[in-house]
Chain A
Amino acid sequence: MRHDVILRVIAKLLIPFILLFALYVQFHGDFGPGGGFQAGVILAAAVIFYGLIYGLADARKLVPEAVVESMMAIGVLIYGGVGVAGLLLGGNYLDYFVLDPNPVHGQHRGIFWVEVGVAVTVSGVMLKIFYMFADRGRVDE
């Protein structure tokens, strides 16, 4: 699809809005529908869209494999780290009340970081699976 001008222009127009929507879903998840998982998937979908239109090599250049692979692990570590932070501050594992002097704000903080962790892992895994699948054909040829 590299030479299809219409697709390229439309993709260029759409991708910023997809990314913005992913961020909206991520950070507005406390108030409206959405959250880390959905935001991660939408984020990955934007990059996959880019890869479909502009080719896998360009997508790899944009988001390198090493970044994707470390994203997978970093997300889980962020999530676990929130739990450990709760432990260090004198609460139970994954207790958010202790993260801030005001327990309700602590809850907000904990939920925020946990959702960030989920989003990072999910988008990393989705992208990695896409890279792996899209790569297979080229290797087989």
Chain B
Amino acid sequence: MAVTVLVIARSRNLFGVIVLGGLYSFLMATVLVAMDAVDVAMTEASVGAGISTVLLLGALYLCKSEETRPVQAPWLPLVVSLAVGAVLAYGTLGLPEFSDPKAPIHTHVVPRYLTELKQEVDVPNVVTAVLASYRGYDTLGETTVVFTAGAGVIALLRRRRKDRKP
């Protein structure tokens, strides 16, 4: 993954960058499978590697395939991103160990989900049960967000075409 990122940063050929971005998504999906988050891995593989790659290629079709040289040396963005990255890495130090059973997230509502799921919902995939039943409102919100995003794309791209016609 680190190699992919370095090549993406160095490369000026946007086509290569997009393909490598898809590769990065697949590697990320593999990492997520290794962390037992199969549902998320599936989403990452289909959305990140599949659909976004196609959409980016579609966008590439509209512009030049070679990145132009930056006008000035990107030192300030480099410093900012390194600083933010360092803060985030520092933040992860405060997180509990991976798969630590005593982590706060595992002691709040998770035991109730795991013990009472069988009588209440009886769906073997706990992720689906929590997503669609216990957290139904959140998923409704997410669906609405997806809908709104699509409506936004329609609003943005369709108006341009109408302007051009007269």
Interface of B, secondary structure class, is helix
CB closest residue in chain B, given A132: B157
Q: A72 touching B150 by the CB < 8 A rule?
A: yes
> With A41-B47, A108-B123 in contact, do A129 and B62 touch (Cβ < 8 Å)?
no
With A31-B125, A139-B164 in contact, is A118–B58 under 8 Å at CB?
no
Among the listed B42, B132, B154, which residue makes an inter-chain contact with A33, where contact means beta carbons less than 8 Å apart? B42
User: Are B150 and A129 touching (Cβ within 8 A)?
Assistant: yes
Are A132's CB and B46's CB within 8 A? no
B11: Cβ under 8 A from any A Cβ: no
**Interface presence of B67 (CB below 8 A):** no
- Within 101-148 of B, Cβ neighbours of A (below 8 Å) are at 119-125, 127-129, 131-133, 136-137, 139-140, 142-144, 146-147
- 0/1 interface trace, chain A 33-50, chain B, CB 8 Å (1 if under): 111111001101100100
**Stretch binding the partner chain, chosen from B15-23, B49-57, B77-85, B86-94:** B49-57
Interface set of B (CB-CB < 8 Å, partner A): 38-39, 41-43, 46-47, 50-51, 54-55, 58-59, 61-62, 119-125, 127-129, 131-133, 136-137, 139-140, 142-144, 146-147, 149-151, 153-154, 157-158, 161, 164
